[in-house]
Structure 1
Amino acid sequence: MFEIFGTDYSPAAVATAAVGGVMALAVARAFLPSRPGKPARGVPAPSGQQQAKASGKAMEAIKIGGCPIPISMETLGIVMSGAPGTGKSFSVTGVLDTLTTRDAGDGGFVADRSGIYLSRYYSHGRGDIILNPLDRRAASWSPLSEFEDEWSGENLARSLVPMGDPSQEEWNAPARLFLSAILAHCHRHDMKNRDILRLAIADPAESLQEVLAGHSAAGLIQPGAEKFFASVRATVTTFISPLNRLDPSAGRDAFSIRRWVGEDRGAWVFWPYRTDQMIPMRSLIACMADVYCEAVMVLPPSRRRRRWLILDEFSSLGRVSSIENWVTNSRKHGGCSILGLQSIAQLRALYGEDNAKTILSSLATSLILRTSDADTAEYLSRQIGDRQVTRWVESEGHSSNSGPGGGSSGSSSNRSQQIVIERTYLPSQLMQMKVLHGILLLPGLGQRPVQVPVPPERDPVAAAWEPAPPRVQVTTAAPVVAPTEPGDHPPADLAAQAQAQPDPLAQLDGIVAAEEAPAPQAEGPDPDSPEAIRHDLGALPLEERAAVVEAARAVVQADQADKEEASLAEQARAVRDPFGDGLGGGGADLL
């Protein structure tokens, strides 16, 4: 104990005074007004140190805009929105720089525009896979390799022909039914990709009786349903046409995404594509991504596993059927998402307004970069939210008074506090942000402005793109017949002629396939025989051989079109003049 000017300053007294002072300060601050222009309510923006502390393992944490993301938040999903060239790909690169070097062995599926990620991260020794069939290094894949049980056909058909809006679903639903039957039949009989295309697109309905027997799709080919079945087939053709780019000889023993994921090792699937391939191949990209998602969600639950779905151009790709289930339910299996978004309108058009809302609301972490679309800016502004701000408002007044005794004047001032609610960031502010500048939203940690760093340059570890040799895959199509009214049929003799004529495309397919070695030349063949043609083609370089085949195919197809046109003209004449006497039969008004 010691005394100063007669006052007792014992340690206990000092401690009591200190605690009392802190409490008094807290009470005083509770009643003091907030500083003008500062938020009075809302989640404050966290500092970088706070985020690093929350992330736990700062050295392993991925970073977005220089801010570490807590490990526990990775499975909550990430969405990166912004116009092209604003920094989404740089942000993904920064994340992948960490993920591909983690000791925990992260893995995932990456849709890779221009092959920028493949050239930076691909590792054959790690077990990475390339899936674009137009790349020479791609694994040979078939939908038939993804079968696991009797329901697999339905799941794969849904991956290939996704749900559409109500007007589209009227045709998509029977198309899925038909395709599921085709896939099940091909898997059961150990068929190949070429057989899927032949049965689904080309074979006449009469030959499908055995294929569809016992399946609910059998009703599609019943008598009287010809026109409906033609429409169903057209829908199927639209969605599965990219399968024509796959290895035609691949079947159920080909590379399987499901089996590869089931091995549960840290490796990556890269789906590199050039800009000109995105539209024709996007339904195939979406199908394989869907298979990947389904495969991850049957893995045993794990808190340490990380299996990433990275779709940089998510709203530009085809519809991934299981994406809603993925973003809401994959967390316990280690599923993580990074989805890139350019325009909210694109996403709504692809998935519908309600589904798009579900997808975006399920992604907790959001990087918002500059957008050039007003609707998207409005949506993102509302996503960031509002803030409550206090302001001091001062007003002044002047008064004057005149009377018999003289005039007087005076002035007064008034100062008041106002609390207002306003957008944290206006849509116009989001549309005017600089390139590589954005807003990062973290669940429970608020929002803060960030700047996306430019990733350091690296020497490529692999070529971004290695074109595969041209693949010639011919699907022999049934003769095209003009739609007829129920009960109308072409004359029997014309139908017989059409069936009796050899199919020139089938002959061409028998002559050469670009991926096969040339057959040896027989002694003294006819120069126009298939053997001689095969030998001559085999002597050409591969690219020239493919060009010759394509030119020949164009000629054959043009000849077929001419013959079909002549056949239709003959049918029309038969309808107009069934007796051949030039007098007509009253049927001209049907055409």
Structure 2
Amino acid sequence: MSFQHTSNHATRGGQITFHTIHMFFQVHSKLGKYLVYAVAALTLLLTWLRAPDNAWWAIFYTVRNHLYQGFGMQETAKVTTFWNGQRYVSTLGLQLNNTELGTLYDSVIHQVQINFLIAFFSGLVLFIMATRYFKAQGEKKSQDKHIRGSQLVEPKALSTDLKQRAKEKKKRGNGNGKLSDFVIDGIALFKHDFEVQHVGLKGTTGVCKSVAIRKLLRWIRKRGDKAIIYDKGCTCVSKFYDESQDTILNPFDERCPDWDIWCDAKEAPDFENMANALIPQHGEGDPFWVDSARTIFSSTGYRMKDDQDDKRSTERLLNLILTSELEELGSYLHGTESASLVSDKIQKTAISIKSVLATYIKSLRFLDGLNRENEDGQPERKKFSSTDWIQDDNQRGFLFLSSAARQHASLRPLISSWLAIASNAILGLAENPDRRIWVIIDEMPSLHKLPELGEIIAEVRKFGGCYVIGLQSYAQLTKTYGKNAAEEMNDLLNTRFYFRSPSNAMAEISSKDLGEQEIELSKEHISYGANQLRDGVSLSHETRTQRLVIPSELQSLDDLQCYLRVPGSSFITQLDLSYDQMRNIASPFIKREFPPSPGMLEAYEKAVYLETVVPGMALPESEKKVLCAIQASQFDSEDEMNVEASQMNAALKGNTVNRLKKQARRGDAETVEQDTSTQQATSTATQERMNKENDGASTSKGGVNDIELYD
């Protein structure tokens, strides 16, 4: 830093400092002078009011007599005194020794001393009050004034505002005048029935969104409400699972009941909704392949619904859909809308469709063994229907849709289907404003695109549905659902927790969500110069609209910190959540041992064959790229893809794949041989025809010497 800059800073700092000191003494000297006058006046006033009768005459005569003495008057000299209306004449010496005058004089002087102390301390209190008043006025003039829009307040201020609004609504006949009994760390921050307007939690990984969800789950358990919980990582299972009333849907977990698609699908629309969740449409590509795959799956499942129980199974469903013989599947689906999609007349199209089918429905193979019977011929597990559980108001407890880390990619289609089934089941209930059924989906974009979720969230509140949706990033939601659908769902989440967003782009979105405020901005200007007349301070005000929380504040939030926005109030508050240490009450995951049955193993190997081998053999490069994009879209990370790839590589070495490859090669050879024989027969016939034409031409050549048909 140059000497000139240092000198300028020192000059500027000195001018400001001495100006501040000068102003300080100016204010306090004026205040002190006025207080001295006030203390003196108060002392005299109190003495006047509290002095005994004739006290002031006693002071007058006492002072007079001492003045006479001071000016040399003899004590034998006569002086006149008026007292109580009488005239007394006596010597100066007797007046100086008059006990009555002395007593009254001493009493007044004593009163003056006492009254001075009272006035002094009163003045000191007045000085403190005046100082505080000046400080308050200074703060008032220097503070920004809120005009309209959102306000950032302490949690208790938000609670007070909500209570006041609830009382006002009750006076208008709306509500019960109370807040929700759900409290966060002892503070009521939510209006009554806030849950049916749905809750959103946004923030990157590791910011403790799960802590807020656990606080909510404890309250839900206390209320006795039903809850469907998507539990990626099985953490909620370990904290809340109660065997007496809860259910875990995870085919890898030993505690999973017996479930297949016919438990929750009874009518054609049920199968269509299930197919939409099981086979998602990612991105903005051509929906033909996915729509066709959905149609085949729903038609096959619906047709199999009417089969006998011993013929209706997940194993048969998969083997039938994934069979390499189009004639067999076409015969089974004859008369349905899917029949044309599996016709051997459009073999390449059918192969593409079945490849998409194989990508997603192979997750159903994990249901293998859930329907096994014990030695007595009785099912080892109870049948479970989430639709029946949801629509039975007598049922209670939690339904956990769990998955461990390495299982998630495999279970994603199933979990997405279960959530879609649960959402539609809530819409099938009778309207009941007192019912509560919670659907808690943390890390929602890690699932497939749930069909019509926006419309379901918008409609479900009158049936008692309450959605709690957690997002790591708004971009994930946009990627899965598209921009319009993502905005629609985001707008339906009225209560919102905003945790840390590391990227500026995502923090910008949350900052906009938290709103703006219009304020009157106070500005202080300081002027100084060589002449003291130029020193001064001026205050000005400017109206400005600004963000309540800027993106960098959201980026710098610590773990367990978040901003909370609730419906029914313009106040926003920042929370520092307390970490509630919860002990595990159940095992998060108990592995189910189930060696795959031969039929299910064959079905999986068929799926892998259709997914990986057939497209390379039968499809052009453009269609292969489309299928590869669809297959890659089901994975969130490279680790998930590697896990699935290792399983598929093992399946490619299986007997089924080898047999199908041989059949394909044999079929190609037969096709080539047939094509060669046909070509030879065609060439022979053509040659004979040409020879006959040549003979005819020679015969008639004499008549047409000027035309030569053949060389």
TM range (shorter): 0.7 to 0.9
2:158 to 47, 52, 63: 47
In structure 2, the CA distance between the partners of 1:350 and 1:453, relative to structure 1 (3 Å rule), is same
**1:97 partnered with 2:221:** no
**Structure 2 counterparts to residues 503-514 of structure 1, below 5 A:** none
Aligned length: 477
SS at match of 1:111: strand
Bigger drift between 137-146 and 553-562 goes to: 553-562
Q: Paired residue for 1:450?
A: 575
Q: For the structure 1 residues 141 and 571, does the alpha-carbon distance in structure 2 shift closer, same or farther, using more than 3 Å as the test?
A: same
Give the 5 Å matches for 1:114-129.
114-126=233-245, 128-129=246-247
Deviations 1:413-471 (A, max 9, x none): 6532101111111111111111111100001223100012212323x322110011133
Instruction: State yes or no: 1:322 paired with 2:457.
Output: no
Equivalent residue, structure 1, for 2:252: 134
Q: Deviations over 1:88-138 (max 9, x none)?
A: 011101111111111xx2011101122221122112222x11101110110
Report the residue type matching 2:237 in the other structure.
L
Deviations 1:512-543 (A, max 9, x none): xxxxxxxxxxxxxxxxxxxxxxxxxxxxxxxx
Aligned partner of 2:58 in structure 1 is: none
Are residue 556 (structure 1) and residue 658 (structure 2) matched? Answer: no
Query: Which of 354, 357, 376 pairs up with 1:236?
Result: 357
Residue equivalent to 1:430: 554
Q: 1:145 to 1:62 in 2, by over 3 A?
A: farther
Q: Secondary structure at the match of 1:130?
A: strand
Q: How does 1:35-74 map to 2 (within 5 A)?
A: 36-44=143-151, 45=153, 46-51=157-162, 54=166, 60-63=181-184, 67-74=188-195
Distance 1:208 1:290 in 2: 27
Query: Is 1:258–2:351 an aligned residue pair?
Result: no
What is the SS of the residue equivalent to 2:601? coil
Residue deviations 1:469-511 (CA, integer Å, cap 9, x gap): 13312235499764289xxxxxxxxxxxxxxxxxxxxxxxxxx
Which residues in structure 2 correspond to 1:137-152 (within 5 Å)?
137-152=255-270
CA distance 1:455–1:483, change in 2 (3 Å) = same
Q: Does 1:111 align with 2:111?
A: no
Distance 1:41 1:431 in 2: 26
1:32-68 Cα deviation digits (max 9, x unpaired):
9876234322244443344467596668325389554
* Per-residue CA distance 1:256-309 (angstroms, 9 max, x = gap): 111111112222100121111222211211110010010011111111111011
Mapping of residues 29-40 of structure 1, within 5 Å: 36-40=143-147
User: One-letter code of the match for 2:241?
Assistant: Y
TM-score (norm 2): 0.61
- Structure 1 letter corresponding to 2:184: K
Determine helix, strand or coil for the equivalent of 2:254: coil
- The aligned residue for residue 376 of structure 1 is 506
- What does residue 542 of structure 1 align with? none
1:273 to 392, 403, 406: 403
Whether the aligned pair in 2 keeps the contact of 1:193 and 1:248 (CA below 8 Å) is: no
Match of 2:702 in 1: none
Could you tell me whether the CA contact under 8 Å between 1:82 and 1:342 is conserved in 2? yes
Assess, with a 3 A threshold, how the Cα gap between structure 1 residues 241 and 430 changes in structure 2: closer, same or farther: same
Bigger radius of gyration, 1 or 2? 2
CA distance in 2, matches of 1:425, 1:327: 28
Change (3 A) 1:152 1:238: same
Query: CA 1:551 to 1:72, structure 2 compared with 1: closer, same or farther past 3 Å?
Result: closer
1:120 counterpart SS class: helix
Change (3 A) 1:261 1:274: same
| Counterpart Cα distance in 2 of 1:73 and 1:321 | 25
Gaps of 5+ in 1: 1-31, 401-406, 486-549, 586-591
CA distance in 2, matches of 1:245, 1:394: 71
Identity of aligned residues (%): 23
Distance 1:49 1:109, change over 3 A: same
Residues 369-422 of structure 1, C-alpha deviations (whole Å, 9 max, x = no match): 01122221111010001112222224466899xxxxxx9985776532101111
- Matching residue's letter, 2:475: A
Change (3 A) 1:451 1:157: same
1:313 aligned residue (424, 440, 443): 443
Matches within 5 A, 1:377-526: 377-395=507-525, 414-445=538-569, 446-458=571-583, 460-472=584-596, 473-476=600-603, 477=606, 482-483=617-618
The question of whether the paired residues in 2 share the 8 Å contact of 1:283 and 1:319 is answered with no
Q: Give secondary structure in 2 for the equivalent of 1:260.
A: helix
Q: List per-residue Cα deviations over 1:324-365 (Å, max 9, x = no partner).
A: 122211001110011110011111010000000000100000
> Does 2:266 correspond to 1:159?
no
Code of the residue aligned with 2:548 in structure 1: it is T
Which residue identity lines up with residue 432 of structure 1 in the other structure?
Answer: S
Q: Residue 65 of structure 1 contacts residue 91 of structure 1 at CA under 8 Å; is this kept in 2?
A: no
Q: 1:394 to 1:457 in 2, by over 3 A?
A: closer
Quick one: structure 1 residues 150 and 450, their matched pair in 2 at CA, closer, same or farther if it must change by over 3 Å? same
Q: Which amino acid aligns with 1:560?
A: R
- Contact 1:62/1:99 (CA < 8 Å) preserved in 2? no
Kindly indicate which of the two structures has a greater share of residues assigned to helix. 2
Deviation at 1:558, TM superposition (A): 6.7
2:338 is paired with a residue whose SS is helix
Shift of 1:563: 3.5
Q: Decide whether aligned partners of structure 1 residues 271 and 57 sit closer, same or farther in structure 2, where only a CA change above 3 A counts.
A: farther
Separation in 1, partners of 2:618, 2:524: 81
Q: 2: CA distance between counterparts of 1:551 and 1:33?
A: 75
Once residues 408 and 69 of structure 1 are traced to their aligned partners in structure 2, the CA distance between those partners, rounded to angstroms, is: 57
Q: What whole-Å deviation, never above 9, does each CA across 1:184-234 have from its counterpart, x for those lacking one?
A: 111111411112211222252101233222211111123431111111111
Q: Write the distance in 2 (CA, Å) between the matches of 1:203 and 1:254.
A: 32
Distance 1:65 1:387 in 2: 29
- For residue 459 of structure 2, what is the amino acid of its counterpart? N
AA at the equivalent of 1:334: G
Q: Residue 192 of structure 1 contacts residue 249 of structure 1 at CA under 8 Å; is this kept in 2?
A: no
8 A contact 1:192–1:250 mirrored in 2: no
CA distance in 1, matches of 2:185, 2:415: 26
Counterpart AA for 1:363:
L
| Residue in structure 2 matching 1:82, options 183, 203, 212 | 203
Aligned-residue offset at 1:561: 6.8
RMSD, aligned CA = 3.5
Amino acid at match of 2:247: I
